[in-house]
Amino acid sequence: MRTATRRLKHWGWGYEDQQPPRDQVEGIAKAVTDRLGFEVDEIEEPVPLDAVDLPEPRLKPPSELAGMFSAELYDRAAHSLGKAYRDVVRGFRGEFPNPPDLVAYPESPEDVDAVLNWCADEGAAAIPYGGGTSVVGGVEPRMRDDYPAVVTIDLKRMDRVLEVDPVSKAARIQAGATGPGLEEQLREHGLTLRHFPQSFEYSTLGGWIATRAGGHFATLETHIDDLVESARAVTLNGEWESRRLPGSGAGPSPDRMLIGSEGILGVIVDAWVRVRERPTEKVSCGVAYDDFAAGTEAVREISQSGLYPSNCRLLDAMESDTTSAGPPGKALLVLGFESAHHAVEEPMSLAQDICRSHGGDLGDVRRSAAQTPGDDPVNAWRSAFLQAPYLRDSLVACGVLSDTFETAITWDRFPDFHAEVMETAKRAVAEASGAAAEGRGSPRISCRFTHIYPDGPAPYYAVLAPARRGDEVSQWDEIKAAVSETVVDAGGTITHHHAVGRDHRPWYDRQRPDPFADALRAAKRELDPKSVLNPGVLIDP
Amino acid sequence: MRTATRRLKHWGWGYEDQQPPRDQVEGIAKAVTDRLGFEVDEIEEPVPLDAVDLPEPRLKPPSELAGMFSAELYDRAAHSLGKAYRDVVRGFRGEFPNPPDLVAYPESPEDVDAVLNWCADEGAAAIPYGGGTSVVGGVEPRMRDDYPAVVTIDLKRMDRVLEVDPVSKAARIQAGATGPGLEEQLREHGLTLRHFPQSFEYSTLGGWIATRAGGHFATLETHIDDLVESARAVTLNGEWESRRLPGSGAGPSPDRMLIGSEGILGVIVDAWVRVRERPTEKVSCGVAYDDFAAGTEAVREISQSGLYPSNCRLLDAMESDTTSAGPPGKALLVLGFESAHHAVEEPMSLAQDICRSHGGDLGDVRRSAAQTPGDDPVNAWRSAFLQAPYLRDSLVACGVLSDTFETAITWDRFPDFHAEVMETAKRAVAEASGAAAEGRGSPRISCRFTHIYPDGPAPYYAVLAPARRGDEVSQWDEIKAAVSETVVDAGGTITHHHAVGRDHRPWYDRQRPDPFADALRAAKRELDPKSVLNPGVLIDP
């Protein structure tokens, strides 16, 4: 397999061989100036791995398990950070303040059990790790100084589709399988999970479940939660395995307690997930609106119509412009229906009627996805979506701040909420960037809906601004704190699908019901009395 | 209000004035013999309330809260049992072995808090109570002898729709609102919850949430879980209130821990639920199949098609015959689509194509629901569905055993599972009833699907058999134990929507993951250290 010889970058997005050469980054720098109006005074080079210096590992693996551990510089550096902007910046500069002492690569649930129990015996923190694409500090060993050692447990060697049930349309898949890895194995059976988060290429099923990842579908199965039929985790109290059931009413759902637990209760090792036949019918359409508010009303009506589009992503004019998706100055709704069973022209036509009644300017309906980008707004946007994390690495080199935040809110509160969030974001970004809020070269703050529900949207905000070179982390942290305050004060959730991790803790702590936090802490103490499992995520032990 | 002067029967289904007179029960006895072939040797009369003798209450309410308590015979008797067959039989015979000492009727969350804290101070068990329609021993004070007193907390006075959000289509409703009560209040706004369990007339929103009740929709929002936007409970650690959010990914869902908690963590006082406009488009159709297996394949294909019928209930020939729903000797699929937004002829037509391809014999498609039963199989079945619990009271008088059990299982395992369950049920019912398994007057065991999922159905089994007069409880318990063993051994869930309560404990304990039970027990100890909240349900304290 080709990928066996490829290594992921130790600091940014993708494989080492995907790092763009200097002349490509220069092209990006030119586009940054031409399109965004940001001056690029210098293109920095990332600090190479051999210039990185890490403290010595504080713990040696036991001889009987030694084969599954690594204490190599590459492994430790590559597992030191997630993939938030603040992580990429630090990795780019060669800053790895909290490296794990060891990285374990178990190959079976028994291996996981052995590593975990050894960690507990040693009092070492144990961080379950999938693709490492956390954007909320979920895998960074920030507790390093409070523990005698930190061991990151990387599930990448547990990447197989173990069983396929073509009758019930379900598959048992190991936690370490990446998006492309599991889709490739499912394709042999004519099946697909169709869970495509932006991190799809590198993130894993176990990571999706641990963090309640959001996927491809704009309606119905928005989160991985909805696709989990049963899950299995290794805990320090033994195996947590739920039954394969299409539905149940037997007490609080065990799966729903594991889903979103971010590694604090155990290590997810595999899960039965609901898969489906690959869609044969696909239609998509772009709809332009003069303003975001009109598009919002159309989307609200669609969300309450029972039509369930697979794609229903509303981009504001700024987002549409940044990604060259739609006509200038217009909000763009990217609407799509798909089915493996029947034609979807009728629901598309009904949805278009709704779009039209709210003043939408309808583009052509395209059957299936066109194979090339170009002038198709739907494809243009999808391509930009998947390329964004790669591009971000070059933006860091060019001194451009690029990050996002996301939430969900009910429709009745959305207009005021959105206005408040945008106002806060504009002010905070201007203050933190020293750039004028308006005019050429001003920061770009845009919004889109990633998922919609009958009772409200999940708005996703993206920020592009001139970076304070060398001080990017503080710059973003200032912005992030300001917008998080507003999001939570105005009734939103601190995260719709990015998880809580360590970065969202102050606001999560205000959001969740106190007795629920009491219950979760008690559950944690019961299953992990020494508090070795991913300490500091979600709750304080 | 008319209902203010009506009182629910202290032992069976419905209001006191709905107890059928002697001549009507005689008519039922005749039908039992004519239609089922069971001999009715005697029609028993229920023991009247004034012949019921209960032990004296062991505790007096505190004077400052006295106004919300009752120690009356009626209140205590009526809160002594749920509404399972074993409960109705005992109530009918005047047997109330485990009465609460007091019944509290709080009128506000503050009242609930006061009662609950007083119970904790006294060490008295506190049983949250909605409509009392539990069929799993969920509200019966069986822990009576282990506690100095038992207080049942009946939420009936908290029955208001508090807020309506017509934009997000959501409403905040108090936990004690019954199905008709909340629907009547929502109707003023043109909205409906459309959660119609069989107990709809008497059960409450709080009860539905506490027990993960199953409702009207055969697909998508099958359980109340899916309709809860946020929930509020009074716990001994303070208020547990989640945020109103259309979706979230912030840690394990607090709502999903409360939903199904059956009163062991706190008392649910109100919830924001997702409502919708009343459907204006409805089509329904009966489809006959020569055998249940062919119908099953049709339903499986529908469940995986993405068509999402609102109704998709497959009755086996016995069930269809018992309820006079379809043509003799045939399995019947009751199929329906509804929408408040658009015509539903196309999805019905696509579903019918599936039905036909599996050998189904299609009846006429009816637009909307006909107003009278008669020859419409869909209406005939619905009417029988709602009348069943009333009829059961008379069946008890006639010496007919009548109860049900239900589960869920994936499609791949369903055929063998169903064969095993039917075999066990037939053997156990024959043994426990002393009746021949075949021929006139033999027990009737039937199956229908109440809900369907892409990965499997929720089969619901009904049993009608000659009762062992005076020994009905043991008779049913023998049957129930036998079928529960098979259901759980063969991979099913002990309950899809009847909850765990006390009756399902032995099998639930084998079904749930052990570390999850550890976590739940720890959470319970944290929130209720004296273990006063509904002890014995779900877990041992």
**How much is the pLDDT for B498?**
98
Per-residue pLDDT at A497 exceeds 90: yes
Element (H, E) at B452: strand B444-453
Interface of B with A in 205-264 (CB under 8 A): 211-214, 220, 222-223, 225, 229, 233, 235, 237-254, 256-262
Residue B381: which pLDDT band, with cuts at 50, 70 and 90? low
What residues in A contact B253, CB-CB < 8 Å?
225, 256, 259-260
Cα angle for residues A484, B244, A454 (degrees, 5° grid): 105
Q: Do A168 and B410 touch (CB under 8 A)?
A: yes
Amino acid at A342: H
Range 339-358 of B in CB contact (< 8 A) with A: 339-342, 346, 350
Which of B117, B134, B219, B248 is the mutation pick for testing A, counting most A CBs within 10 A?
B248
Which residue, B402, B495, B386, is CA-closest to B85?
B402
Q: Tell me, what's the pLDDT at B377?
A: 62
- CA A418 vs. chain centroid, Å, equals 22
Query: What are the chain A neighbours of B250 within 8 Å (beta carbons)?
Result: 260, 493-495, 499-500, 504, 508, 511-512
Distance CA B209, CA B211 (A): 5
Please indicate whether, in this complex, the C-beta atoms of A256 and B261 are within 8 angstroms of each other: no
CA distance B113 to A271: 40
SS3 (DSSP) at A8: strand
Q: How many CB pairs below 8 Å do chains A and B form together?
A: 315
Residues on chain B touching A457 (C-beta within 8 angstroms): 246
Give per-residue pLDDT as tens, A386-427: 889 999 999 999 999 999 999 999 999 999 999 999 999 999
Q: CB distance B247–A409 less than 8 Å? A: no
On chain A, the residues whose CB falls within 8 A of the CB of B454 are 168-169, 246, 274, 276
What is the DSSP track for B138-183?
A: SS--TTGGGSS-EEEEE-TT---EEEEETTTTEEEEETT-BHHHHH
Q: Summarize the confidence of residues A180-204 as an average pLDDT.
A: 97
- Compute the distance between CA of residue A392 and CA of residue A402 in angstroms, rounded to an integer: 7
B residues 442-481 closer than 8 Å to A (CB): 451-458
Q: Best mutation site among A135, A198, A245, A276 for testing chain B: the one with the most B CBs within 10 Å?
A: A245
Please answer yes or no on whether A512 and B239 come within 8 Å at the CB atom. no
Higher pLDDT, B430 or A440: B430
Stretch among A128-137, A325-334, A448-457, B77-86 having the lowest mean pLDDT: A325-334
Q: Which pLDDT belongs to residue A438? A: 84
Task: Determine, for residues A304 and B258 on separate chains, whether the beta-carbon distance falls below 8 Å.
Answer: no
pLDDT-based confidence at residue A349 (cuts at 50, 70, 90) = very high
pLDDT of B380 over the 60 cut: yes
Confidence (pLDDT) at B4 = 59
Out of B260, B266, B307, name the one closest to residue A252 (CB): B260
**pLDDT for position B386:** 80
Residue B1 has pLDDT above 70, yes or no: no
Q: Is the pLDDT at A377 greater than 70, yes or no? A: no
CA distance A250 to B512: 8
Interface contact A172, partner B, CB < 8 A: no
- State the amino acid at position A380 in one-letter form: A
The pLDDT score that the predictor gives to residue A299 is 98
Mean pLDDT for A185-204 is: 96
Q: Judge: B242–A513 Cβ closer than 8 Å, yes or no.
A: yes
Query: What's residue A216's pLDDT?
Result: 87
* Mean pLDDT, residues B454-481 taken together: 98
Q: Model confidence over A141-156: pLDDT tens digits?
A: 999 999 999 999 999 9
With CB atoms and an 8 Å threshold, state whether A408 touches B248: yes
Amino acid B384: pLDDT: 76
CB contact under 8 A, A518 and B498: no
Nearest by CB: B247 against A169, A453, A522? A453
| Amino acid of residue B304 | Q
A513–B252: do the CB atoms touch at under 8 Å? no
User: A293 at the B interface (CB within 8 A)?
Assistant: no
Q: Which of B260-269, B316-325, B355-364 has the least mean pLDDT?
A: B316-325
**ipTM for this model:** 0.96
Query: B169–A339: do the CB atoms touch at under 8 Å?
Result: no
Q: Which residues of A touch B220 (CB under 8 A)?
A: 220
- Classify the C-alpha dihedral A177-A179-A181-A183 as positive or negative: positive
Average pLDDT over every residue of B36-64: 97
* Residue B168: closest C-alpha in chain A: A455
B440 or B316: which leads in pLDDT: B316
- Interchain contact, A512 vs B242, CB within 8 Å: yes
CB distance from A274 to chain B under 8 Å?
A: yes
3-state secondary structure of B96: coil
- Comparing A483 with B376, the larger pLDDT belongs to A483
pLDDT confidence of residue B177: 98
* Torsion on CA atoms B90, B94, B100, B103, rounded to nearest 10: 110
Helix, strand or coil, per DSSP, at residue B514: helix
Mutate one of A163, A267, A411, A455 to test the B interface: name it (highest B CB count within 10 A): A455
Cβ pair B390, B14 in contact under 8 A: yes
Q: Which residues are CB-neighbours of A208 under 8 A, at least 6 positions away?
A: A130, A195, A197, A215, A224
Nearest CA in chain B to A264: B251
- Nearest Cα residue in chain A from B259: A252
In tens, the pLDDT along A221-251 reads 999 999 999 999 999 999 999 999 999 999 9
d(CA B19, CA B6): 12
- Tell me the per-residue pLDDT of A513-539, one tens digit each, with 9 for 90 and over: 999 999 999 999 999 999 999 999 999
Is any Cβ of chain B less than 8 angstroms from the Cβ of A403? no
CA distance B482 to B433: 14
> Residue A371: what pLDDT?
42
What pLDDT is stored for residue B371 in this prediction?
42
What does the pLDDT look like over B74-133, one tens digit per residue? 999 999 999 999 999 999 999 999 999 999 999 999 999 999 999 999 999 999 999 999
Record: contact B526-A527, CB cut-off 8 A: no
Query: Is the pTM above the cut of 0.90?
Result: yes
Residue A369 has pLDDT above 70, yes or no: no
Q: Do A492 and B245 touch (CB under 8 A)?
A: yes
pLDDT of B3 higher than 60: no
Distance from CA of B43 to the nearest CA of A (A): 37
Using the Cβ of B439 and the Cβ atoms of chain A, whether some distance falls under 8 Å is answered with no
A411 vs B168, B516, B527: nearest CB: B168
Question: Are A309 and A337 contacting, i.e. CB atoms less than 8 angstroms apart?
Answer: yes
Yes or no, beta carbons of B515 and A167 under 8 Å apart? no
Kindly determine whether residue A250 and residue B493, on different chains, have CB atoms separated by under 8 Å: yes
Kindly state the percentage of chain A with pLDDT values over 70. 97
Distance between CA atoms of residues B443 and B438, nearest Å: 8
Does B386 contact chain A (CB < 8 Å)? no
Phi and psi of B69, rounded to 5°? -110, 150
Count Cα atoms within 13 angstroms, Cβ side, for B127.
34
The answer to whether B504 faces chain A, any CB pair under 8 Å, is yes
Chain A residues with CB-CB distance to B168 below 8 A: 410-412, 454-456
Is the CB of B523 less than 8 angstroms away from the CB of A525? no
- CA gap B111, B117 in Å, rounded: 10
Residue-by-residue DSSP string for B324-358: T-SSTT-EEEEEEEEESSS--HHHHHHHHHHHHHT
Reported as a pLDDT band with limits 50, 70 and 90, residue A381 is low
Per-residue pLDDT, averaged over A448-455, amounts to 98
**Residue A254 above 50 pLDDT?**
yes
Mutation for testing the A interface, residue in B245, B276, B489 having most A CBs under 10 Å: B245
Query: The tokens of B134 are what?
Result: 């539990």
Minimum mean pLDDT range among A426-440, B283-297, B352-366: A426-440
Among B169, B214, B521, the residue with its CB nearest the CB of A455 is B169
- B-chain residues within 8 Å CB-CB of A346? 346
Alpha carbon distance B340, A307 (integer Å)? 11
Q: Give B409 to chain A, closest Cα distance, Å.
A: 6
Interval B270-288 mean pLDDT: 97
Kindly tell me if the per-residue pLDDT of B541 is higher than 90: no
Residue A2, pLDDT above cutoff 60: no
**How confident is the model at residue B439, as a pLDDT?**
87
Write down the mean pLDDT value for chain B: 95
How much is the CA Rg of chain B, to the nearest whole Å?
Answer: 23
- Average pLDDT, rounded, for chain A: 95
Residue A1 clears pLDDT 60, i.e. is over it: no
Predicted local distance difference test score (pLDDT) of residue A384: 77
- Is residue A372's pLDDT more than 50? no
Quick check: B77 and B95 in contact, CB under 8 A?
no
C-alpha B8/C-alpha B81 separation (Å) is 13
B394-428 pLDDT, tens digit each: 999 999 999 999 999 999 999 999 999 999 999 99
> Does pLDDT of B191 surpass 70?
yes
Residues in CB range of A101: below 8 A, 6 or more apart: A57, A58, A59, A71, A76, A124, A149, A150, A151
A187-204 residues labelled b (16+ CB within 10 A) or e (exposed): eebebbbbbbbbbbbbbb
Residues in A closer than 8 angstroms to B293, CB to CB, are: none
